[in-house]
């Protein structure tokens, strides 16, 4: 680092060591060293307001008076977006707002940087000059470092301001979010991530700091390996996820940048925080959800590295009260495992999304998980009571006693119900009159295989092979795929497993994968279409499946088949591989998913070619009704329990029966009690679903008087009128007969 910035950092360090409030001195120093006419600090105030708290160059009367909303003006925009803005002509920027009391109309150029600490925006620091110019990379870097120091001061000041929030801290607050894993939890909250702020920001001896960093990296990597081994006994490990995580840990790119930051005068801790912050800002701008979701992994690693740098050895993690609800802004997979080991009962992740590694793990571990709930981390205090109702997409902080009692009662009832379900585990799955219905699992990660034994499911009706790849972020090579599939067959121990070939594309994208710019990716170049156009990829997977079978029975199905010709082409690739692999499977069944409506008009021909069909209602419904399956605005508008869909199933059932082809349903519909009841009523006796649904559906079936229901269903379907849904009459019968729907 050149001399001027180094001198600035050294002076700032001296300033911060003094007891007096350093902000006015800081702005003076920064303005002088950066040769800027203005340096100002804005601090975040309650109500999402930014207040000018110190300035060199603007009118001093404005201090304590000038306030901007987050999102208002350039400074507000920087706080809202979390990115710096570097403008040669700030006044002509569309976001510029002029506050006369500041006298800033004479300054053309502006560089504004967010002041952040532990992922929270505490304010903004800005420098301005009269002459129009863009600030160079070095000036930006220096101001970012200054922002880290300012964050320390603002955090200290903020702590004393906190007293004003005393009254608000007892009020009940509802935070809406979105369900990432189902379930309910009630307990005290624990806040994640407050420990990651370095105490020492600057260091004199870069060589010693770099040595500390190297030692800490080694320590961190050892710790990760130990965590993985301790938490996840062999065979059960979601290796797909943790391998991806381990790779990020070993990636030298970001560590090299930390070393550079240390050379510039930062301590190892501040270097880690700085680089993690930069990467976070960059990743935030990605539109690719996969890359955005990896942000949490990186932060997880940065926190781990900071803990490893803590030469006091760090404190052993304290146990948390049983069932505590973890609140995190972001969370990485290793962090989730740490917290899980400490006994949490649920998780709220403000920036959580369905594909995030920690979320995939939370789902697999059965932890209720909510995403969103914006603002909860800024409101909650450690130990506050909360109700996490992921099923209703909300978390309630500091609930009143009566509401708490309602939820505690609901949890008790649910636990009693679960205990009742558990007794059903080893009972055969039959309706009250003795009709057998096979219930199977939808699975995507090896971690979920343990659910076979826990639920007593009769096999795996859908193994989504792409999930592991999405979790890893790459298409893994043949031998590694074979190892995963072989573990699945080992765990199934002779029970049937329907492996679905890769269903990538659409919204399931791997980073760097070949992509087309399509208007409708769900209907685009995805799934089997990619497999047929890139047969090397598909053949590699088919070979891996055959090798994994190693002489055992093997069932393979293809997703998104739209024509019989496509099915034939895919099956031909499988057969070509089967002719080369030894030992041959003792039985090879080949089937298709039914997700594309066009197949419904090719059934006689299709049924002559396939051994089985599995209906994917999620995609079938979306294509049948031209309704995006992920659009909340369309949820509930079209119904599986509608005359056209029931006609499709009745017809399919009859034709499959006649052709002696096994028919199952593996879409979402199979896991909903009323839909499952109706599918069974129409004659479908194989349903595949997430593990959580198996025992509740078994319990429903055990109480189902199938002949009586069939008669009612036939009558309801015959009733004239153009009802868009038959849900109501079906539900009325179910309620009358004691089913809770």
Judge whether 327 and 190 are in contact, CB under 8 Å: yes
Q: Please pick, among 340, 385, 666, 739, the residue that the annotation labels catalytic.
A: 666
Least distance between ligand PEP and beta carbon 451 (Å): 17
Judged by CB under 5 A, the stretch of 132-140, 208-216, 549-557, 588-596 that binds Mg ion is 588-596
Q: Please pick, among 357, 385, 409, 737, the residue that the annotation labels catalytic.
A: 357
Instruction: Report the SS3 class of residue 460.
Output: strand
Q: Which CB sits closer to Mg ion, 193 or 667?
A: 667
**Which string of x and - marks every residue 90-129 that binds Mg ion (by CB under 5 A)?**
----------------------------------------
For residue 190, the partner it binds in ligand PEP, Mg ion, none, with Cβ less than 5 to 8 A by kind, is none
For residue 549, the partner it binds in ligand PEP, Mg ion, none, with Cβ less than 5 to 8 A by kind, is none
For residue 439, the partner it binds in ligand PEP, Mg ion, none, with Cβ less than 5 to 8 A by kind, is none
635 Cβ contact partners less than 8 Å away, ≥ 6 residues apart: none
268 Cβ contact partners less than 8 Å away, ≥ 6 residues apart: 203, 209, 210, 212, 213, 216, 258, 262, 309
End-to-end CA distance of the chain: 67
Which residues from 442-471 bind ligand PEP, rule CB under 6 A? Answer: 462, 464
Q: Which CB sits closer to ligand PEP, 332 or 505?
A: 505
Q: Which CB sits closer to ligand PEP, 54 or 181?
A: 181
Q: Which CB sits closer to ligand PEP, 404 or 522?
A: 522
Tell me how far CA of residue 110 lies from CA of 124, 140, 359, 369, 717, in angstroms. 12, 11, 40, 42, 69
Rounded Cα distance, 654 and 676, in Å: 18
Judged by CB under 5 A, the stretch of 461-469, 537-545, 595-603, 700-708 that binds Mg ion is 595-603
Strand ranges (E), 505-595: 554-558, 588-594
For residue 238, the partner it binds in Mg ion, ligand PEP, none, with Cβ less than 5 to 8 A by kind, is none
Judged by CB under 5 A, the stretch of 251-259, 356-364, 451-459, 612-620 that binds Mg ion is 612-620
578 Cβ contact partners less than 8 Å away, ≥ 6 residues apart: 542, 546, 584, 585, 588
Least distance between ligand PEP and beta carbon 670 (Å): 9
Consecutive H or E run containing 553: none
Q: Which CB sits closer to Mg ion, 286 or 525?
A: 525
Rounded Cα distance, 687 and 697, in Å: 10
Q: Which CB sits closer to Mg ion, 31 or 594?
A: 594
Which residues from 30-89 bind ligand PEP, rule CB under 6 A? Answer: none
Judged by CB under 5 A, the stretch of 137-145, 468-476, 606-614, 616-624 that binds Mg ion is 616-624
**Which of 539, 533, 524 shows the shortest CA–CA distance to 475?**
539
Judge whether 148 and 273 are in contact, CB under 8 Å: yes
Rounded Cα distance, 135 and 507, in Å: 39
**Binding status of residue 355 toward ligand PEP by CB under 6 A:** no
Q: Which CB sits closer to ligand PEP, 617 or 662?
A: 617
Phi/psi for 442 (5° steps) reads: -95, 125
Least distance between ligand PEP and beta carbon 634 (Å): 16
Rounded Cα distance, 704 and 2, in Å: 79
Judged by CB under 5 A, the stretch of 164-172, 195-203, 290-298, 618-626 that binds Mg ion is 618-626
Q: Pick one of 74, 666, 689, 730: the residue that binds ligand PEP (CB under 6 A).
A: 666
Instruction: Report the SS3 class of residue 549.
Output: helix
Least distance between Mg ion and beta carbon 595 (Å): 5
Q: Which CB sits closer to ligand PEP, 277 or 531?
A: 531
Q: Which residues of 316-351 are buried (b: 16+ CB within 10 A; e: fewer)?
A: eeeebeeebbbbbbbbbbbbbbbbbebebbbbbbbb
Rounded Cα distance, 381 and 394, in Å: 18
Contacts with ligand PEP: how many residues (CB under 6 A)? 10
**Which string of x and - marks every residue 137-176 that binds ligand PEP (by CB under 6 A)?**
----------------------------------------
Which residues from 599-638 bind ligand PEP, rule CB under 6 A? Answer: 616-619
For residue 506, the partner it binds in Mg ion, ligand PEP, none, with Cβ less than 5 to 8 A by kind, is none
Q: Which CB sits closer to Mg ion, 336 or 693?
A: 693
For residue 617, the partner it binds in Mg ion, ligand PEP, none, with Cβ less than 5 to 8 A by kind, is ligand PEP
For residue 84, the partner it binds in Mg ion, ligand PEP, none, with Cβ less than 5 to 8 A by kind, is none
In the 3-class helix/strand/coil scheme, how is 630-680 assigned residue by residue? CCHHHCCCCCCCCHHHHHHHHHHHHHHHHHCCEEEECCHHHHCHHHHHHHH
Rounded Cα distance, 531 and 560, in Å: 11
**Binding status of residue 616 toward Mg ion by CB under 5 A:** yes
Instruction: Give the rounded distance of the alpha carbon of 130 from its chain centre.
Output: 46
Least distance between Mg ion and beta carbon 518 (Å): 17
Instruction: Give the rounded distance of the alpha carbon of 168 from its chain centre.
Output: 31
Judged by CB under 5 A, the stretch of 162-170, 329-337, 482-490, 615-623 that binds Mg ion is 615-623
Least distance between ligand PEP and beta carbon 462 (Å): 6
Q: Which residue is nearest to ligand PEP (CB)?
A: 616
Q: Which CB sits closer to Mg ion, 56 or 595?
A: 595
Tell me the H-state helices in 18-136: 23-33, 73-81
Peptide bond just before 583 cis, omega within 30 deg: yes
Q: Which CB sits closer to ligand PEP, 135 or 649?
A: 649
Torsion of CA 128, 130, 135, 139, to 10 degrees: -50
Q: Which residues of 495-509 are buried (b: 16+ CB within 10 A; e: fewer)?
A: ebbbbbbbbbbbebb
636 Cβ contact partners less than 8 Å away, ≥ 6 residues apart: none
Q: Pick one of 269, 297, 458, 503: the residue that binds ligand PEP (CB under 6 A).
A: 503
Instruction: Give the CA radius of gyration of the chain.
Output: 30
**Binding status of residue 619 toward Mg ion by CB under 5 A:** yes
Is 449 exposed, middle or buried (CB count within 10 Å of its CB: 0-12, 13-18, 19+)?
buried
Least distance between ligand PEP and beta carbon 617 (Å): 5
Least distance between ligand PEP and beta carbon 436 (Å): 23
Torsion of CA 98, 104, 108, 111, to 10 degrees: -90
Least distance between ligand PEP and beta carbon 667 (Å): 3
Instruction: Give the rounded distance of the alpha carbon of 270 from its chain centre.
Output: 28
Least distance between ligand PEP and beta carbon 619 (Å): 3
Q: Which CB sits closer to ligand PEP, 498 or 606?
A: 498
Tell me if residue 357 is catalytic: yes
Least distance between ligand PEP and beta carbon 682 (Å): 17
**Which string of x and - marks every residue 576-605 that binds ligand PEP (by CB under 6 A)?**
-------------------x----------
Residue with tokens 């009159």: 433
Q: Which CB sits closer to ligand PEP, 86 or 501?
A: 501
**Helices and strands of the chain, counted as H and E runs:** 27, 21
Judged by CB under 5 A, the stretch of 204-212, 229-237, 368-376, 590-598 that binds Mg ion is 590-598
For residue 144, the partner it binds in ligand PEP, Mg ion, none, with Cβ less than 5 to 8 A by kind, is none
Least distance between ligand PEP and beta carbon 254 (Å): 33
Positions annotated as catalytic residues are 357, 666
Interacting residues toward Mg ion by CB under 5 A: 595, 616, 619
Interacting residues toward ligand PEP by CB under 6 A: 462, 464, 503, 595, 616-619, 666-667
């Amino acid at each position: 680092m050149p001399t001027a910035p180094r001198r600035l950092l050294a002076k700032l360090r001296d300033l911060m060591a003094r007891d007096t409030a350093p902000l006015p001195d800081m702005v003076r120093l920064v303005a002088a060293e950066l040769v800027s006419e203005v340096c100002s600090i804005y601090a975040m105030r309650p109500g999402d307001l930014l207040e000018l708290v110190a300035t060199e160059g603007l009118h001093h009367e404005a201090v304590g008076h000038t306030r901007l909303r987050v999102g208002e003006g350039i400074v507000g925009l920087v706080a809202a977006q979390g990115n710096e803005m570097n403008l040669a002509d700030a006044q002509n920027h569309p976001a510029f707002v002029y506050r006369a009391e500041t006298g800033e109309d004479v300054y053309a150029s502006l560089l504004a940087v967010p002041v952040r600490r532990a992922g929270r925006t505490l304010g903004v620091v800005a420098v301005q000059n009269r002459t129009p110019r863009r600030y160079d990379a070095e000036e930006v870097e220096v101001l970012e470092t200054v922002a880290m120091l300012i964050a320390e001061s603002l955090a200290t000041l903020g702590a004393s301001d906190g007293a004003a929030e005393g009254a608000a801290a007892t009020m009940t607050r509802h935070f809406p979010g979105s369900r990432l894993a189902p379930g309910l939890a009630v307990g005290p909250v624990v806040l994640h991530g407050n420990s990651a702020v370095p105490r020492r920001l600057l260091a004199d001896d870069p060589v010693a700091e770099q040595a500390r960093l190297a030692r800490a990296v080694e320590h961190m990597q050892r710790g990760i390996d130990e965590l993985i081994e301790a938490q996840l006994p062999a065979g059960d490990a979601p290796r797909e996820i943790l391998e991806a995580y381990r790779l990020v840990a070993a990636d030298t790119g970001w560590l090299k940048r930390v070393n550079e930051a240390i050379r510039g005068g930062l301590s190892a801790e501040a270097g880690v925080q700085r680089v993690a912050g930069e990467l976070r800002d960059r990743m935030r701008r990605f539109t690719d959800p996969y890359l955005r979701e990896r942000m949490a992994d990186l932060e997880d690693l940065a926190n781990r590295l900071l803990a490893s740098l803590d030469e006091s050895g760090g404190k052993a993690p304290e146990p948390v009260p049983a069932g505590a609800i973890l609140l995190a802004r972001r969370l990485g997979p290793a962090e989730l495992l740490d917290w899980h080991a400490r006994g949490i009962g649920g998780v709220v992740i403000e920036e959580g999304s369905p594909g995030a590694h920690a979320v995939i793990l939370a789902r697999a571990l059965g932890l209720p998980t909510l995403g969103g709930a914006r603002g909860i981390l800024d409101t909650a205090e450690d130990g506050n009571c909360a109700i996490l109702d992921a099923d209703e997409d909300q978390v309630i902080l500091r609930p009143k006693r009566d509401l708490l009692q309602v939820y505690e009662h609901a949890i008790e009832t649910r636990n009693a119900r679960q205990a009742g379900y558990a007794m059903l585990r080893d009972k055969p799955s039959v309706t009250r009159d003795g009709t057998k219905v096979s219930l199977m699992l939808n699975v995507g990660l090896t971690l979920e295989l343990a659910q076979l034994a826990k639920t007593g499911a009769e096999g795996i009706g859908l193994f989504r092979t792409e999930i592991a790849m999405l979790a890893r972020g790459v298409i893994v090579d043949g031998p590694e795929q074979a190892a995963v599939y072989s573990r699945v067959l080992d765990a199934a121990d002779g029970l049937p497993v329907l492996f679905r070939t890769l269903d990538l594309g659409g919204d399931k994208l791997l980073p760097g994968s070949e992509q087309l710019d399509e208007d409708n990716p769900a209907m685009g170049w995805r799934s089997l279409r990619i497999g047929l156009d890139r047969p090397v990829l598909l053949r590699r997977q088919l070979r891996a499946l055959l090798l994994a079978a190693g002489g055992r029975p093997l069932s393979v199905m293809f997703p998104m088949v739209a024509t019989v010709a496509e099915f034939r082409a895919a099956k031909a690739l499988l057969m070509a591989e089967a002719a080369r692999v030894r030992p041959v499977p003792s039985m090879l069944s080949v089937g298709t998913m039914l997700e594309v409506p066009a197949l419904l008009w090719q059934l006689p021909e299709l049924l002559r070619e396939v051994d089985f069909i599995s209906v994917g209602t999620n995609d079938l419904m979306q294509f049948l009704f031209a309704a995006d399956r992920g659009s909340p605005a369309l949820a509930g508008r079209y119904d599986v329990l509608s005359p056209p869909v029931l006609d499709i199933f009745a017809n399919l059932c009859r034709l499959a029966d006649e052709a002696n082809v096994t028919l199952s349903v593996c879409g979402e519909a199979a896991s909903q009690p009323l839909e499952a009841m109706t599918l069974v009523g129409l004659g479908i006796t194989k349903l595949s679903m997430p593990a959580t649904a198996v025992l509740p559906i078994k319990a429903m079936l055990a109480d189902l008087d199938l002949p009586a229901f069939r008669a009612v269903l036939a009558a309801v379907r015959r009733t004239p009128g153009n009802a868009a849904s038959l849900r109501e009459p079906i539900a009325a019968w179910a309620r009358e007969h004691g089913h809770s729907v």
